[in-house]
Structure 1
């Protein structure tokens, strides 16, 4: 098995953020093949979910960073993914997030994880700006972006051709 040496693990008061691993395949597959994936392109077949999982892990290999799996501290159960994301062809660096199950919602985990991931992107990756690309009907994700201090940027480009809102995060030191 290949590992990415030096991939960071971040900790918050309640969470650990780490690189995805083979043990995360089943919870990620359940998310990507289920109804909760409706705002990120819709439910995938299991074989397409496998390719998406490979894309997530490969991003770490190719860029040296990527989406973190977040877990409760002291547990290894994957609750969701969050983090810096910049696949080939995307116009800007993104801070993205997904919560895998309803049980992971409403406890502030996504916000706590997103704040840590954004801080990491600015402080350790040298990002000067970041956006989040959000489906217009994803009201929970829009609310989270706003709680994080991100504001709509109607002039920003976005990947793909589906309906997408762009939320610009405050930069290092609180600048947008």
Structure 2
């Protein structure tokens, strides 16, 4: 598996649809986890299709959500990375963690590393994070990694019609 980003505690690598399917399905079948990302739990077949879509995004764009692995245990803990599907306002860094790995600073650690990767490897001038209203954890994560609230949107295309807040930041040397 190709590693894209490595941090002190995490490895962000390409998705392995066979190896990652079970924990991905566990994550996406949890109502609390999906509450702010479409509010629809997924079964194994739906999770497989979503993983295939993310792998397809990698093939089309050259980047995508990556599987996040905790170095100390080798456990798959979520998906985090650069994302820019059709309908998005601009490229995003997004994150979703398995419920067993939240509140450990992993989203902040991987999110910050992905912002750096987007600026310094992908050549982006700015990044955003589309966050559904009420998702306080993601709002705090975005702020912690240097983003600020920019504007609101009426939903995220293909995900939700709920009010969303767009957080973001410019590449430091561009400011």
TM > 0.5 fold call: yes
Deviation at 1:158, TM superposition (A): 6.3
Structure with the bigger percentage of strand: 2
CA distance in 2 between counterparts of 1:108 and 1:163 reads 26
Separation of aligned partners in 1, 2:51 and 2:41: 11
What corresponds to 1:162 in structure 2? 162
Q: Is the 8 A contact 2:77 2:101 kept in 1?
A: yes
Q: Is 2:102 aligned against 1:105? A: yes
Q: Which one is further off, 165-174 or 55-64?
A: 165-174
Which residue in 1 is equivalent to 2:5?
Answer: 10
Equivalents in 2 of 1:25, 1:92: separation in Å?
Answer: 29
Over the aligned positions, Cα root-mean-square deviation in angstroms equals: 2.0
| CA displacement, residues 21-52 of structure 1 (integer Å, 9 cap, x when unaligned) | 12111111111122111110013332332221
Query: Unaligned stretches of 5+ in structure 2?
Result: none
**Alignment match, 1:93:** 91
Structure 1 runs not aligned, ≥5 long = none
Q: Take 1:125 and 1:45, find their aligned partners in 2: how far apart are those partners?
A: 31
Cα distance change on mapping 1:151 and 1:30 into 2, 3 Å: same
Superposition misfits of 4+ residues, deviation over 4 angstroms:
155-158
